[in-house]
Amino acid sequence: MSINTSVNIAGVTLKNPVTVCSGTFGSGMEFVEFTDLEKLGAVTTKGVASVPWAGNPVPRIAETPSGMLNAIGLQNPGIDVFCERDIPFLKNFDTKIIVNVCGHSTEEYVDVVKRLADQPVDLLEINISCPNVKEGGIAFGQKPEAAYDITKEVKKYAKQPVIMKLSPNVTDITEMARAVEDAGADAVSLINTITGMKIDINRRTFALANKTGGLSGPAIRPVAVRMVYQVAQAVKLPIIGMGGITCAEDALEFILAGATAVAVGTANFADPFTAVRVAQGIEEYMIRQGVKDINELIGAVR
Amino acid sequence: MAKFQEMGEVISQVCLCPGIFDLTIKAPQIAAEAGCGQFVAVYSKDAAHLLPRPISLCRINRQAGTIRLVYRVAGYGTDEFSRLAAGDSVRVFGPLGTGFFLSDKKAMIIGGGIGVPPLLETAAALSRRGMRRENIQIVLGYRNECFLKDEFEQFGTVYIATEDGSTGVKGTVIDAINANRLSADVIYSCGPAPMLRALKAYSEEKGITCYVSMEQRMACGIGACLACVCNSTEKDGHSQVNNKRVCADGPVFNAKDIVI
């Protein structure tokens, strides 16, 4: 049986619906010895800013039940090094490139988006939902008006389709999705991490130097599936679903809830072979279930 | 260098002293590739504890295809590993990180507490290079229980410091170096941050090369997540922000290259 696993995100065709969550995969360099990048629909890079960011003090991570907290603080080399080193590296592979963009201010986001205008990348993912940087990041991701404004501004300069990455740390995620849709976003990705805290009772201090961090991993999966479902009912935009995906079965929950594509995140840390296994597992599921086209599954559960 | 994920068979496990365990695992691909100062990531069987635990390699036996891990029980993962017995299996991933860069210079191998184990393979590797015993000086600092001390003696002369003075010099490894009037051209060290900080200062004062093996909370172990950084004196190759990655650029660094 010939099956179709390719999906379309804002006019860009991914050979299969699997990508990785920004920040869990670098720009793929550290993973090439374990992962055939060409077996992924797209590689989503770690957030890149207009200049290098040093990130937060250590400890930056802590394990929690079925998950982990992180407060890396978006350490990144800045757009210059990224364009010279990371994009040419990724161009060696037959996969799509999604560049995650971060900033402290509208100007910083726009700077990066402008720099990427003539670069051979396929999609931009605008990170307005990182809970671990003091200015910017989530400041744009918790108020519909702010999300609308940044989307509008980025869309003015973007030459690639724009995915807005949404935060779960809001009362109603559908309001946020509607706001970015109204402002012209081409897609949404969700969810970013959920703000959390862990206390080290022996040292009587916070487990993370940043005090709070973003919770990820299987612990947040049911929240993420619920939010993907809600957003799928609320907007027409394609959705990249993520949050605790460790295997094909997890990924399929997101697709059935309404995600056009899915991203593997924390599981890459636990096991660098995960993302490709998820892509293969989806194909096996389709064969087992006699599904000819992955698109039949998207949002099939209402 | 290639990294492998193997389902290792437990060959043996013994408790060296309260809380310190000695685990030998058959993992031939990792053993064939590993060098002193590198580490492996060991997985819990409980999927709710999803991150593998980084543990240094205490010995590597290429012929037998085994690796030996000596570790302290510090939480859920290491507690689970401490209950493994011969014939059990455990998933390991490695070898990870950049280990010690060895030379034939007169050496001091300096370990503190649970930083002692990776130096056993380091001492063995120096000995295999044909270095004479008198050029392999081994200084070990402990709270009180001197685990692995006897095994170090086959490679060089061992000097001990204990916090309670129950064995050797009462005090720190620096006290043991001074009390025994030791000198060297290179230091290979692993231990708690205050000890490594003191050794960095000591080596700068003496004008000798000092390698330190660092520890930090890790997630991926392969240089992608940027959790386990330490401050470096020069721009790092990855992000160019003076943050070297302990898991990939280290865990072993030249002390002059990092801020401890």
Which CATH number belongs to the domain containing residue A171 in this structure? 3.20.20.70
Q: Does B85 touch chain A (CB under 8 A)?
A: no
CB-based contact A285:A251 (threshold 8 Å): no
Domain limits for position A268:
7-55+75-197+217-296
Q: Which two tokens stand for residue A153?
A: 């501004």
Q: Are residues B185 and B136 in the same domain?
A: yes
Q: How many domains does chain A have?
A: 1
B259 in a structural domain = no
**Distance in angstroms (rounded) separating the CA atoms of residues A90 and A113:** 18
B258 in a structural domain = no
**Residue A263: φ, ψ to 5°:** -130, 135
A61 in a structural domain = no
Q: Does A66 touch chain B (CB under 8 A)?
A: yes
**Minimal Cα distance from B248: which residue of A?**
A30
> So what's the pLDDT on residue A139?
76
Q: Does A93 touch chain B (CB under 8 A)?
A: no
**CATH code, B232:** 2.10.240.10
Q: How many domains does chain B have?
A: 3
* Sign of the CA dihedral running A290, A296, A299, A302: negative
B8 in a structural domain = yes
A169 in a structural domain = yes
A206 in a structural domain = no
Q: Which residues of A touch B48 (CB under 8 A)?
A: 65-66, 218
A203 in a structural domain = no
Match 């995140």 to its residue by tokens: A265
B101 in a structural domain = no
> So what's the pLDDT on residue A135?
62
Q: Are residues B181 and B219 in the same domain?
A: no
Beta strands B20-26; B136-142: pairing state: unpaired
> So what's the pLDDT on residue A137?
65
Domain limits for position B220:
215-251
CA A167 to each of CA A67, A192, A209, A236: distance values in angstroms, whole numbers, following the listed order: 17, 5, 22, 18
Query: Distance, in angstroms, between B104 CA and closest chain A CA?
Result: 33
CA A239 to each of CA A8, A45, B59, B127: distance values in angstroms, whole numbers, following the listed order: 10, 18, 49, 59
A151: Cβ–Cβ under 8 A, 6 or more apart, which residues? A126, A162, A164, A179, A180, A183, A184, A185
> So what's the pLDDT on residue A2?
87
B69 in a structural domain = yes
pLDDT tens-place string over residues B93-135: 999 999 999 999 999 999 999 999 999 999 999 999 999 999 9
- Check A21, A83, A102, A130 and give the catalytic one: A130
B167 in a structural domain = yes
Q: Which residues of A touch B243 (CB under 8 A)?
A: 54-55, 75
Q: Are residues B219 and B241 in the same domain?
A: yes
- Tell me which of B29, B80, B225 to substitute to probe the interface with A (most A C-beta atoms closer than 10 Å): B225
pLDDT of B138 > 90? The answer is yes
A302 in a structural domain = no
CA A132 to each of CA A70, A98, B136: distance values in angstroms, whole numbers, following the listed order: 8, 21, 47
pLDDT in tens, chain A (302 residues): 689 999 999 999 999 999 999 999 999 999 999 889 999 999 999 999 999 999 999 999 999 999 999 999 999 999 999 999 999 999 999 999 999 999 999 999 999 999 999 999 999 999 998 777 766 667 789 999 999 999 999 999 999 999 999 999 999 999 999 999 999 999 999 999 999 999 999 999 999 999 999 999 999 999 999 999 999 999 999 999 999 999 999 999 999 999 999 999 999 999 999 999 999 999 999 999 999 999 999 999 99
- Tell me which of B226, B238, B244, B246 to substitute to probe the interface with A (most A C-beta atoms closer than 10 Å): B226
Q: Does B41 touch chain A (CB under 8 A)?
A: no
Q: Are residues B222 and B197 in the same domain?
A: no
Q: Which two tokens stand for residue A173?
A: 């995620």
pLDDT of B1 > 80? The answer is no
Report the candidate in A113, A119, A112, A127 with the shortest Cα–Cα distance to residue A91. A119
ipTM score for this prediction:
0.93
Q: Does B228 touch chain A (CB under 8 A)?
A: yes
Mean pLDDT of B49-77: 97
Of the residues B61, B96, B131, which one is the last residue of a structural domain? B96
Q: Are residues B204 and B247 in the same domain?
A: no
**CATH code, B188:** 3.40.50.80
